[in-house]
Structure 1
């Protein structure tokens, strides 16, 4: 998808983010807070509390991810931050640290329904590579799904599909389950 423009989520782009995520916060009120909170914190905060928590991050100057724009409308999102921003990853068998390297993590990809299957996820991952490299990151990591079937329902595809990560140049470093992998892109 060559016709996308990208921008970090900042207060200037908050309304575009809200429109992309819609009233449901992308999926069941997540607002891309799932990996930023431990399980005990996440469940009671779904919905408005998660939206407010993401907004507070943005208002504090954090840049929790990148929006992809097509013809001025946000059509895609990739959550990308230093791994420390995602405490739930340390509790995950699939995403536990691979080694002691400092990494940035991609935890979520969300694409507007009408733009799915058009290469938006690959474009978002490539944008994340560039944005993280520009900020001095050395390794970008993801935890994609390895589909058992030809397609995965969108609600379950939020970590991204391994095919998109491979198309963006990531390599598989570990496969700790039949359906999930740990992939990396070396930025140096």
Structure 2
């Protein structure tokens, strides 16, 4: 009924029926973050995961093929929330060293730890306001911890309770991260939808 984590299987269950699993099933990833147009060169949550030149160049089936490859990697490109076995939410989480955040000039490095980044959330329409965002962040933390990460950080907006454009909510809010035990570790030079982004950190060891 409550929260539990099957460490060996890297499954994290929140509430009665929301389960968060590593994103190893391509079709489920495509359902959540795949582009509406098959020929598109956007979405699939690749913009921070791979280099910018490759991200712009990949289109259509080649883009999908790249995501399939990432789903077969260890670790995969993120985690997925399932509600009664239906994929309903996505969170991108991965070692920072393998993302563009490793070179991002707007978001600082707090220290030299080999930390993980948690940078994108997506909840399917019709499933919002059911606690899925909270389940995703909890499941992402559990996944990073099981994978040996010393710490995990995110880069949400500090909206101070003000309304954020729904299309910009993919980074999450400072309050969301605080509710999961993260603490403010640094300010950033990044601004989204008029709100400053902050670096939130949670130690895992």
**CA shift at 1:46, angstroms?**
5.4
Give the aligned partner of residue 186 of structure 1: 203
- Select the residue among 91, 101, 110 that pairs with 1:89: 101
Please state which structure has a larger fraction of its residues in helix: 1
Structure 1 pair 43–28 and aligned structure 2 pair: CA distance change class (3 A): closer
In structure 1, C-alpha distance between the alignment counterparts of 2:29 and 2:203, rounded to whole Å: 28
Give the unaligned 5+ runs of structure 2.
Answer: 1-13, 190-194
Unmatched 5+ stretches in structure 1: none
Q: SS of the counterpart of 2:172? A: coil
Question: What is the number of equivalent residue pairs in this alignment?
Answer: 184
State the shift of 1:48 in Å.
4.4
Runs of 4+ in 1 over 4 A off after TM superposition: none
Matches within 5 A, 1:114-153: 114-147=126-159, 150-153=162-165
Does residue 56 (structure 1) correspond to residue 69 (structure 2)? The answer is: yes
Q: TM-score, normalised by structure 2?
A: 0.79
Q: SS at the partner of 1:174?
A: strand
Counterpart of 2:19 in structure 1 is 5
User: Greater strand share, 1 or 2?
Assistant: 2
3-state SS of 1:114 partner:
coil
Q: Select the structure of larger CA radius of gyration.
A: 2
Q: Does the residue aligned with 1:124 lie in a helix, a strand or coil?
A: helix
Q: Does 1:45 find its partner at 2:62?
A: no
